[in-house]
Chain A
Amino acid sequence: MKRLGLDRLSVAGLACLLVLVVFALGSLVGAGGDPDAIVGPRLQPPGPGWWLGTDNLGRSVLPRVMEGVGTTLLLSSIAVLLTAALSATFGIIAGYRGGYLNELVMRLVEVLYSFPAIVLAILVAAVLGPGQLAALASIVLVTIPLMTRLVRAAAVAVSQRDYVTSAVISGARLSRVLARHVLPNVAGTIAVQGTYALSVGIAVEGGLSFLGFGVQPPQASLGVLIQQGGTYMIAAPWLILGPGVVLVLAILAINVVGDGLRDRLEPRETRSLT
């Protein structure tokens, strides 16, 4: 941690994420029980056998939350990795090459950008049919415009750096220039934006599931759980409390880590007004 140079808050955020990942991995080895099995009466408050209560089908909430964390984190992470890969490719090429290619990429990005995020997500889900693939594609399409823009801006800045010019003068091929000089130097931007995209991804997954386009039952995701729990907010508050707290924690932790990462990559001065 120290070597990463992150501040204490970010370390706390990282730790929190780590705990969530362990929690999610727990469900893979069956800790907490079968998330789909009906184990008791419906809508029971927390108690032995169902430590976080039971849901409207009499399933134990604990393994469902564990599975939900896993689904949501995995889905969002894969989506963000995809976004990062696509944004890096298009952003770097557009930023470095400029010209018509740049215009084309930016225009496409602009088009995607003009769709309100959730509308875009709904359309994608409607076209692909609800499910993980739709959630994945939605997150990618929703997060790609901003990241591509920022990567492009960073790539424009990097392409004007003297070391890039030097490499070109040395006769380096385009692929070499991009891979060895431009990419590593926009990686920071990608990493920082990636963390924000991750939190957006989690929110999009939640929103989609809320509208019924997301992850399919009986599989649990945080969005699914919160959507179902929301219905029982008063009658069975434990249904929303568990996944809700976990979701807030996850997004909060990711944001905090993102901020820390950014402060680390782009340290900044401060100044007093007195």
Chain B
Amino acid sequence: ATGTTTTPPASTQESAAPGYLAVADQALPAGGTLNLQVHIDSGAATGYDPQLADVATTWQLLSLSYETLVTIGPDFGVQPLLAEKWDTPDPKTYVFHLRKGVTFSNGREMTADDVVGSLKRLLASKSVWRGQLGPVESVAKDGDDKVKVTLKEAYTPFLAALANVPAAVLPMKEIDDKSVDPATTLLGTGPYVVENHRQDVSWTFKRNDKYWSKDKPAADALNITIAPEEAARIAALQNGSAALATLGNVDSASMLAGARNVQVVTQATTDFYYLMLNTVAPGSKFADPKVRQAINIALDPQQIADVALGGKGKPTAITPAGLPGSCDPAALPSAKQGPEEARKLLAEAGAQNLTFTLSIFATEPAPAVAQVIQQNLQQAGITVKIEQMDEASWSGKVYGKAPAEFDAALSWFAGYADPGMVTKWWNPETAGFNVGFMKPDKDLNALIDTAGKEPAGAAREQALAAVCAKADADAQMIPLVTRPATVAFRGDALSPSLYATEGYGNVLRLVADARVKKTQ
């Protein structure tokens, strides 16, 4: 496939185009300051280095200053960004044609060396993303304006992985001569330049005047306030001190129902909740697959989505629902059975009075999800005790030790932009973080690898369906429902562009398009 330069569909009214929740009104003048509020700051011990960033909130902020070769378009299509186009002479080779006239915000022009250096640096790093890039064999300059990446074997999610912030192009010259430390300085080709950052308080960005796309970014400055308390963000929207804010509560729309000029939209994401059953702990209650199967059957993802997520989430298999090619959760074996079968399985396993503790973190809506799970399992005679912790204690308990000491735990994965990416986490040997509570399943691992190689198409969908079914039966990590993102903005202050779906949790992805209607 060959990509071409695309601009977002030009549209003068705010009626959303397909794949969009909102499209910025290009007729509005550029300029102005945009005030945003998000609930959490990027917080990593590794600093600002995009290659080491591993959470969506960090990607979101870093994406304002860093760019990747390719990017994700509406409905998960891969689109050009710093590469104007690319060729794939064979499934193992990608040749990227670099965009001309791209400069870093310090004024230096981006070169093929920067691209090659960045990718090599990433591959040599301890970054989690190194694995997502797949079996890369070599990265090399192909003339001054082309870069060639060779894979050891075919790897379908490659482009989607390349579209995320850790694969951003860094100013390698400066990094190599040590004049810039990416951990402490943001120096990218992106639309905005950091002016000030106070940890956990605010970020201020100003327009990158040397940005390659001449009509972008529209807003001159961004003020991003970190407001952990939902009520504070809602307040800021209501009184207009924020033009856009991310919201956590699935019912925020009704909270803001009467507020004038505030629009609340739900962005579907590929992130999804999943239930971990610890099979590694000595004396695990879940060692018997029948017990896990029973739990999987007793769970009612539709009810979880309807009740805990206010109808905003969707049931999902291990390939995130919504991604092209992902499998149908309703077709999974466990979805077709009810509590009766679960009881039977438990009886067979001799685990009639199963009681276990579910460890969750306190951030909403996890407690709501857990309580619906509790109700679900009660139908099958399983007693769940919920243990709610702050996130630090929770991650200490879940990831801190191997074998881990919890019974069951609830969390969510970022779903990314290709159905073959998250499935890897079901192989603890490559994932690493879950060796403490999950036993590798050889068959499943093989299926995952196969699906990774299969080029997009019907064969891939079949391969993925096999992975889904196998994982459903294995049921050590049980996917539940997708996790919606709620965004609200002031219609009188802002005309934003927002995708209807998002794979990397980046609400600010299109912020460079947003038009400010009035300056506060």
A binding-site residues for B, Cβ under 8 Å: 36-38, 42-43, 56-58, 126, 129-131, 212-213, 216-218, 230-236
Task: Give the residues from 273 to 314 in chain B that come closer than 8 angstroms, CB to CB, to chain A.
Answer: 307-308, 310
| Cβ of B130 to closest chain A Cβ, rounded Å | 34
Chain B: interface size category? 20 to 34
Query: Top 9 A-B pairs ranked by shortest CB distance?
Result: A212-B362, A235-B254, A217-B367, A218-B371, A216-B388, A235-B255, A217-B386, A57-B307, A217-B371
CA gap between A267 and B392 in the complex, in Å: 52
Task: Give the residues from 40 to 61 in chain B that come closer than 8 angstroms, CB to CB, to chain A.
Answer: none
CA gap between A6 and B408 in the complex, in Å: 53
B261 CB-CB contact with A under 8 Å: no
State which of A36, A42, A130, A233 has its C-beta within 8 Å of the C-beta of B310.
Answer: A42
| Cβ of B176 to closest chain A Cβ, rounded Å | 43
Q: Mark B342-368, 1 if CB is under 8 A from A, else 0.
A: 000000000000000000001110011
Check B249 against A218 for contact (C-beta < 8 Å). Answer: no
Check B375 against A37 for contact (C-beta < 8 Å). Answer: yes
Task: List 28 A–B pairs whose Cβ atoms lie within 8 Å, in order of A's numbering.
Answer: A36-B374, A37-B375, A38-B307, A42-B310, A43-B254, A56-B368, A57-B307, A129-B387, A129-B389, A129-B393, A130-B389, A212-B363, A212-B390, A213-B390, A216-B388, A217-B367, A217-B386, A218-B374, A231-B230, A231-B231, A231-B255, A232-B255, A234-B255, A234-B257, A235-B251, A235-B254, A235-B255, A236-B254
Q: Would A212 and B374 be within 8 Å (CB), given that A58-B307, A235-B257 are in contact? A: no
B222 CB-CB contact with A under 8 Å: no
B258 CB-CB contact with A under 8 Å: yes
CA gap between A216 and B254 in the complex, in Å: 26
**Residue of A38, A212, A213 with highest tally of chain B CB at under 10 A:** A212
B242 CB-CB contact with A under 8 Å: no
Question: Residue on A with the closest CB to B249?
Answer: A231
CA gap between A231 and B254 in the complex, in Å: 11
Check A130 against B255 for contact (C-beta < 8 Å). Answer: no
Chain B contacts for A130, CB-based, 8 A: 362, 388-390, 393
Check A216 against B231 for contact (C-beta < 8 Å). Answer: no
Q: Would A56 and B390 be within 8 Å (CB), given that A130-B362, A217-B371 are in contact? A: no
Question: Residue on A with the closest CB to B257?
Answer: A235
CA gap between A42 and B390 in the complex, in Å: 26
Chain B contacts for A218, CB-based, 8 A: 371, 374, 386
Q: Would A131 and B254 be within 8 Å (CB), given that A38-B375, A212-B362, A218-B371 are in contact? A: no
CA gap between A61 and B249 in the complex, in Å: 19
| Cβ of B310 to closest chain A Cβ, rounded Å | 7
B370 CB-CB contact with A under 8 Å: yes
| Cβ of A67 to closest chain B Cβ, rounded Å | 14
CA gap between A37 and B387 in the complex, in Å: 18
Task: Give the residues from 368 to 391 in chain B that come closer than 8 angstroms, CB to CB, to chain A.
Answer: 368, 370-372, 374-375, 386-390
Task: Give the residues from 214 to 263 in chain B that come closer than 8 angstroms, CB to CB, to chain A.
Answer: 230-231, 249, 251, 254-255, 257-258
CA gap between A231 and B256 in the complex, in Å: 11
